[in-house]
Structure 1
Amino acid sequence: MVLADLDKRAELTVWPGHEQARTALGREFSTLREALAAAAESMQADDAQPWIITEDGDILSPHWIKANTGPSRLQ
């Protein structure tokens, strides 16, 4: 993944982290940067398990998102 990928579209799906999930909340974002910020926020607020699919078809797991998000990483 390169910095230019942060400006491409992405889809975020958030699964509840503390209960068995039958449905997930999905949402499209105009940039991967926005999807990563929303994913990080959902992990902190709701103990959720976010997954992101990028415009190029990469699948970003909750572990990848946690390791690669933070104020300095999303610049």
Structure 2
Amino acid sequence: MTPADLDRRAELTIWPSHYPAQVAKEYTFATLREALAAAARAIDAENAQPWIITEDGDILSPRWIRANTGSSRLQ
């Protein structure tokens, strides 16, 4: 992943950790940067399991998101 990828479109799916899978929420973001920020907020606030699909088709797991969403990494 390159810094330019942060400015490309991404889709975020948030799977709640305490509800059945059919209540997952899906969102589309103009940038991967926005999707990562929303995913990090969901992890912190809801203990959720966010998954991101980038414009290029890369799938970012909750573990990857947790490891790569430090505030300095999203700049």
TM class by shorter chain equals over 0.9
Aligned counterparts of 2:32 and 2:65: Cα–Cα separation in 1: 11
User: Percent same amino acid at aligned positions?
Assistant: 69
More helix by share: 2
Deviating more after overlay: 20-29 vs 36-45: 20-29
Q: Quote the offset at 1:20 in angstroms.
A: 3.0
1:1-75 alignment, distance < 5 Å = 1-75=1-75
SS of alignment partner, residue 53 of structure 1: strand
SS of alignment partner, residue 57 of structure 1: coil
Say what the alpha-carbon RMSD is for the aligned residues.
0.8
Count how many residue pairs are aligned between Structure 1 and Structure 2. Answer: 75
Aligned counterparts of 1:20 and 1:70: Cα–Cα separation in 2: 29
Deviating more after overlay: 18-27 vs 48-57: 18-27
Q: Quote the offset at 1:21 in angstroms.
A: 2.4
Query: What TM-score results when the alignment is normalised by the length of structure 1?
Result: 0.96
Q: Quote the offset at 1:22 in angstroms.
A: 2.0
- Note the residue ranges of structure 2 that are not aligned, 5 or more in a row: none
- Note the residue ranges of structure 1 that are not aligned, 5 or more in a row: none
